[in-house]
Amino acid sequence: MTQKQVTQLLVELHELNKTLKTIASSLERKEVSHDIFPGIAFKAAPVSKEEFVKHYGEYVKRCSN
């Protein structure tokens, strides 16, 4: 293998390493900020936790039938 080929392989390896780091960073951000409502904006005022739990229970019943 020539010096030029070795150099080219090292450059390619460096680029692959940068790509892997970018992918890993992206995956870490996704794991940290799991949003069940991505891109959705709610215009109403927030409900109480009790009201949310009540309606969530109703939702689960509807989905289970």
Confidence of residue 19 (pLDDT cuts 50, 70, 90): very high
What pLDDT, on a 0 to 100 scale, did the predictor assign at position 50?
93
**Helices (runs of H) and strands (runs of E) counted in the chain:** 2, 0
What pLDDT, on a 0 to 100 scale, did the predictor assign at position 32?
59
Residue 47 φ then ψ, to 5°: -95, 165
Asked if pLDDT for residue 4 goes beyond 80, the answer is yes
What pLDDT, on a 0 to 100 scale, did the predictor assign at position 51?
92
Number of structural domains (the chain) is: 1
Higher pLDDT, 29 or 3: 3
Give the pLDDT mean for 23-52.
79
Structural domain boundaries, residue 42: 3-64
Asked if pLDDT for residue 35 goes beyond 80, the answer is no
